[in-house]
Structure 1
Amino acid sequence: MRISIQEAPFDLGQEADQFAAGRVDMGAIVTFTGVVRNSAKGDLAAMEIEHYPGMTEKAIEAIAQQAKDRWSLGDVMVIHRYGRLVPGDKIMMVATASPHRVDAFEAAEFLMDYLKSRAPFWKKEFAADGADWVAAKDEDEDALSRW
């Protein structure tokens, strides 16, 4: 299991290749990458992501372990960036490896729902008309409730 909370960009292809390397016992590798999207008005200049070092890693490690306990997973990887990001930047990546695709897909969705709604990150968006903290969305909480 690998959890990385980092400021630096990551190479999606390289990370996926390293995660999948040598996994002859795994029949499914699922990856998901989140990208900073522009606002509906098209005026997002940047997003700042904050976290508490140590606490964030422990929280994500705990949920990744829950995924490993719940589904038949050979491995889990979560990369999440912090700092200043602009539209188009990769913000995070989840990868799961399992003997069968259903477990890999479901575990990846579970992790994504957790990261979107409960992971200890704070996001602030900067646009032409000012800056605002990103509020929790009901649909994100609803998605998490299915697990």
Structure 2
Amino acid sequence: MPKSTTSRLLPPADDHAARFLRQREADRAAVAEDYVELIADLLREEGEARAVDLARRMGVSQATVTATVARLQRAGLVETKPYRGLFLTRAGDAMAEAAKRRHDLMVRFLLAVGLDRETAEADAEGLEHHASERTLATFARFLAEQESKA
């Protein structure tokens, strides 16, 4: 049976593998980014970030939070203080700010192309971690053009 003229050809194997590697790396980074972003949000909104709050808001067990926070500590992103909860290091704070900017950009873009806020917020949670810097820059230019027309 002949191939459809609308089907795309597979990319070269090395390029294909590189795409999947970037996605796996983005998946790993997404967890750290989600945690530090939530810690920053909790510190800003509630004045403290506790493991129990992270577990409840992320829908995971406290054991999962404990293991993840330990990894974030080893990576130099989070500090814990006895009886005081979780705090971000400078590196963690920088990561949280970058994640927040990407999230906000993604939400603004999704709203601009016609999605409702609830869907845009939900979808941005995954998309923000997987969009390349080039894609994000393109979204930002698109939004700037749209806003300049308004």
Normalized against structure 1, the TM-score is what? 0.30
**Greater RCO structure (CA 8 Å; 6+ sep):** 1
Richer in helix (by share): 2
TM-score by length of 2: 0.29
Structure with the bigger percentage of strand: 1
Q: For the pair shown, which has the larger CA radius of gyration, 1 or 2?
A: 2
